[in-house]
C-alpha cells in the first residue's frame, strides 16, 4: 500500500500558520516515504463553507510549494456515501434521534444525581436523555440529529477485535506508540456522539473515517486536539468495515499569548504573511520545519 497522507481543511476561513504546519508536515512525510500527499475539502457545513475560501486554500497551498493529485475530494459531493453508512448503522440498531440542544444537555448533565458533568471530545458527554425512549425501528428519520448508542456500539464489536491505533506523533499527555482503549473508555469518556447533524446529514466523525478510507489514507497527520476523538474514528472503522490508518498528531502552533489559533482570528492568516512579503521558506521557519 502506498504511504498516503492528507490535508483536510474546511473552507470556512483563511488558512493560518497552524494549517500551513499541518499541510507541510503531511506533505514532507509523504515525500520522505516516496508516498502521496492528498487534499480534501471538508465542506459539509454548508452554512459556513464558501467557494472563496476554498479557492484561497488552493492558492495558499500552491504558494507554499505543495502539490497534490486531482481531482480533490470534496465532502459536499459525498453526501450519499455518508447517508449509506448511516443507514448501515441505523439497521444495526446503533443510532437514535435526539433533538436535545446544548442547554438541555448541560441541564441534564449537571442534575444532582448525575455527579459532575464530564467533558468528551465533542464537549459535554451526553447524559443519555433520549437513548431509551427514542424509536429505532422503521425507516431512518431525516433532518433530525442522530446519535450513536455507544454502549450498544461497543457491545457489537466482537471481543477478538483489538481497539487500538498506532500513534507516530504524540497525544496531549505524550501518548505514543500503540494506543489501546477499552469499551468502558468509549462509554465513560466519549458517550453517545452525534453522527448526523441537522442540515448536514453527516458529522465530522462520520465523514472523516469514510473519506480517509475512500482516499486510501495510511497515515492521518493532524493536530493534537483530535487525539481523543481518534477512538471514535477507530470504533466507526470497525463498525463500518473500513481499514484502519495510523495516526500522527502534531503540536498546535500557538500565537504569542498562547491561545489556539481560531479561524475567526485573521492575525496569522497565511495570506497576511504573503501580503507582508514573507516567503514560503519564512513560513517553514516560523512553524519549525526544515527547508526543502
Decide if residue 100 touches Zn ion (CB under 5 A).
yes
Pick the piece of the chain touching Zn ion (CB under 5 A) from 83-91, 98-106, 183-191, 232-240: 98-106
Q: How far is the CB of 124 from Zn ion (least distance, A)?
A: 12
Q: How far is the CB of 233 from ligand GLU (least distance, A)?
A: 8
Decide if residue 221 touches Zn ion (CB under 5 A).
no
Listed in order, strand segments (DSSP E) in the chain are 4-7, 36-41, 73-74, 95-97, 119-120, 123-124, 146-148, 164-167, 177-180, 194-196, 219-223, 246-250
Decide if residue 130 touches Zn ion (CB under 5 A).
yes
Between 23 and 125, name the residue whose CB sits nearer to ligand GLU. 23
Question: 73-76: long-range contacts (C-beta < 8 A, 24 or more apart)?
Answer: 73/38, 73/39, 73/40, 73/41, 73/211, 73/214, 73/215, 74/40, 74/41, 74/43, 75/40, 75/41, 75/42, 75/43, 75/44, 75/202, 75/207, 75/211, 76/41, 76/43, 76/44, 76/46, 76/49
Q: How far is the CB of 5 from ligand GLU (least distance, A)?
A: 10
Between 187 and 261, name the residue whose CB sits nearer to ligand GLU. 261
Binding residues for ligand GLU (CB under 6 A): 8-10, 42, 208, 222, 226
Among 98, 109, 236, 253, binds Zn ion (CB under 5 A): 98
Decide if residue 89 touches Zn ion (CB under 5 A).
no
Q: What is the dihedral of CA 20, 25, 28, 32, to 10 degrees?
A: 180
Residue 100 binding target from Zn ion, ligand GLU, none, CB below 5 to 8 Å by type: Zn ion
Between 145 and 245, name the residue whose CB sits nearer to ligand GLU. 245
Residues that bind Zn ion (CB under 5 A): 98, 100, 129-130
Amino acid at each position: 500500500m502506498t504511504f498516503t497522507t492528507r490535508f483536510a481543511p474546511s473552507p470556512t476561513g483563511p488558512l493560518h500558520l497552524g494549517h500551513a504546519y499541518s499541510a507541510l508536515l503531511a506533505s514532507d512525510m509523504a515525500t520522505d516515504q516516496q508516498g502521496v500527499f492528498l487534499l480534501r475539502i471538508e465542506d459539509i457545513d454548508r452554512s459556513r463553507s464558501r467557494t472563496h475560501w476554498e479557492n484561497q486554500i488552493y492558492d495558499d497551498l500552491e504558494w507554499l510549494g505543495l502539490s497534490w493529485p486531482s481531482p480533490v475530494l470534496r465532502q459536499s459531493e459525498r453526501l450519499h456515501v455518508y447517508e449509506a453508512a448511516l443507514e448501515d448503522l441505523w439497521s444495526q440498531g446503533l443510532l437514535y434521534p435526539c433533538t436535545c440542544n446544548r442547554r438541555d444537555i448541560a441541564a441534564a448533565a449537571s442534575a444532582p444525581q448525575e455527579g459532575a458533568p464530564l467533558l468528551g471530545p465533542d464537549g459535554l458527554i451526553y447524559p443519555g436523555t433520549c437513548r431509551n425512549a427514542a424509536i429505532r425501528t422503521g425507516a431512518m428519520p431525516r433532518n433530525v440529529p442522530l446519535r450513536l448508542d455507544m454502549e450498544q456500539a461497543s457491545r457489537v464489536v466482537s471481543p477478538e477485535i483489538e481497539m487500538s491505533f498506532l500513534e507516530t506523533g504524540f497525544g496531549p499527555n505524550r501518548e505514543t506508540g500503540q494506543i489501546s482503549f477499552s469499551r468502558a473508555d468509549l462509554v465513560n469518556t466519549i458517550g453517545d456522539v452525534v453522527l448526523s447533524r441537522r442540515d448536514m446529514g453527516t458529522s465530522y466523525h462520520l465523514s472523516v473515517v469514510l473519506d480517509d478510507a475512500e482516499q486510501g489514507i495510511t497515515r492521518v497527520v493532524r493536530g493534537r486536539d483530535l487525539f481523543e476523538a481518534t477512538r471514535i474514528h477507530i470504533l466507526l472503522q470497525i463498525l463500518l468495515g473500513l481499514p484502519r490508518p495510523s495516526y500522527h498528531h502534531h503540536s498546535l502552533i500557538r500565537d504569542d499569548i498562547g491561545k489556539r489559533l481560531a479561524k475567526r482570528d485573521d492575525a496569522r492568516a497565511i495570506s497576511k504573511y504573503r501580503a507582508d512579503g514573507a516567503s514560503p521558506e519564512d513560513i517553514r521557519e516560523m512553524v519549525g520545519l526544515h527547508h526543502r
